[in-house]
Structure 1
Amino acid sequence: MPEARGNAEAVSSAPGSRAPGLALDDLPDGLVVVAADGSITDLNDVAGRLLGRPRGELLGMPLRRALPLQDTSGRRWWDVLRDDGRRPSGVTDDGHGERLLLLPGGTELLVTARFHRDATGTLQRAVLALRTPDERRRAETDTTSLIATVAHELRSPLTSVKQFTASLLRRWDRFTDEQKRLMLSTVQADAERVSRLVGDLLDVARVDAGRLTVHRRPMDLATLVREHVDRLRMAGYDDDRFVLTVAEDLPELWADPDRMAQVVTNLVDNAVRHGAGTVAVDVTGADGSIVLTVDDAGEGIAAENRPYVFSKFWHGGGRSGTGLGLYVTRGLVEAHGGDVDVDSSPAGGARFTVRLPAGEPG
């Protein structure tokens, strides 16, 4: 939509004329240009198809007759725009963002309007962008799919928690101490999994809103990594699945320990779930930064997919999950003034590298 509006601003107000080099008929959305007197001066073929009339018939026609739009409350849209007291939120003298409006017969259109005025506020030209709700419906389908995925990710550990706690409550005396310990450890691990997922969802909202905060203090990243790897070993992973290398004389790191724990958990657990063989974790210092590297020996991530890995909801290559972990990881690292990227691992899998500025923040 922004491209459509940007090109349209150069369109002449003379009926049927177009600025050199513009290809309005190549735009995916319908475009209608309206003169100050309310008549249509130009439109592309997509707009003609959406309105069910040829371009030649619509040129010069009053906008109200060509697009007799109503909102879903039954109000005539052009009257709503002129009446300051009836204007919905988001509608100004300069136009409005995308709105769902209706043509006679119930045809739905998503309409965006831009009004161009002179220094006195007099309307000089209006530009309308039109499209069907298909793209919005696809976005709604994606949202529904995400909800289903999140529900599945939540239901799986919660089902396990319910089963183990129910068994313990009904037959506590029949289990040995070792069996109880194993079942309670599983319950704890599943509860932590649910907590992480809920935390990711909340952090996605914070990243999107620009409200992600960090509370920095001196911390030992190497110890944090060791503790997480130890927890994975205690959870049943083989000791030789992990190789941890920590450089000596690391520079001081000022960071939020809880947020760094999220970063380490997301990257190491991602390597365990989606990788294969050994997971190598290195903590080193270089050029005034502390560098955390996580390698796995799995299939890796194709070069053409790497630019999308940190996008919200991305989980390509048959990977399971919500696709939120790496998006949150990037947000957390960038909130500390660092960066994270992905490349090929020497072992053939994926390598994730986090660089964090060392020393006390200025």
Structure 2
Amino acid sequence: MKAAVLVEPGKPLEIENLNISKPGPHEVLIRTVACGLCHSDLHFIDGAYPHPLPAVPGHEAAGIVEAVGSEVRTVKPGDAVVTCLSAFCGHCEFCVTGRMALCLGGETRRGKGEDPRLTREDGTPVNQMLNLSAFAEMMLIHEHACTAIDPEMPLDRAAVIGCAVTTGAGTVFNACKVTPGETVAVVGCGGVGLATINAAKIAGAGRIIAADPLPEKRELAMKMGATDTVDALANDAAAQIVEMTKGGVDFAIEAVGRPASAQLAVDSLRRGGTATVLGMMPLTEKVGLSAMDLLSGKKLQGAIMGMNHFPVDMPRLVDFYMRGLLDLDTMIAERIPIEQINDGFDKMRAGHTARSVIVFDQ
């Protein structure tokens, strides 16, 4: 099969022909139809986050089940599925207390003594990234890393549900539990930020303020449901948000991965408000609350993958799209073949587009 391989950080991905193993007892073989380019992939490609190499990145995908292992009960051949990097075991403390996004998922990967899922043609192993490795024509994953969806759902749109939408919408619905009338600020209007804005609109937020330095991103945010926008790099960005909401927002959500963006989120809060950091910051960075923030009852939290319950959340998000509530069409800027993947990431580095989606030949 054809796949995009990360051989060395900071270098372009290389298109190679790889071998993929047969499904084990709890594994699912999926023919990849579409995969979004996510900034999380870029962190590994550029070397900001470490990973054993060579590896196949990609984690925001949708496809069709080709075959299943002997113990698989959740999907069957022919099913349309969306994948999710937060593969869960189903019986650890995090899973049984409803925090499955925190599961370390060790049992969802093959052990040291087992054959690797991916190999080069000479038999050398290729590492699977984030349980998926979706920049490839096929995926071999644990059944708890995907969920079946409505077969009528267009899979190029379904792919972005796998990360950007699950993260953004999950944060609104699960981590923040936004209720009608509450105010929300979103810092960063890339794929995750736009999905957060759209979900806040669905949740009935009274005011949704989008903060981004690029005018075209702020325009996209208005299409996705923002009621107001500010330039995130303006010296008085936080003051503008506090002024327009007469005291600050109930929830401020950082969707960039920069300390300054997290600080803007904190500074935009009202008394008792909550700031949620979604972006992958440099590993040495720290963010926090001042003594006055704490005395004001403000909170700061992370929300990995939106603290999702993806086997339940993803079919609901698909339903939202099919009913015209969730706007995935505006979010997708272009559809490209896998051979243009490096160009897609160059556009992401420039920051001027929303989501690029790889569509595989069918």
TM-score tier, shorter chain, comes to: under 0.3
Structure with greater helix share of residues: 1
TM-score normalised to the size of structure 1?
0.20
Q: Relative contact order: is structure 1 or structure 2 higher (C-alpha 8 Å, sep ≥ 6)?
A: 2
* Structure number, greater radius of gyration: 1
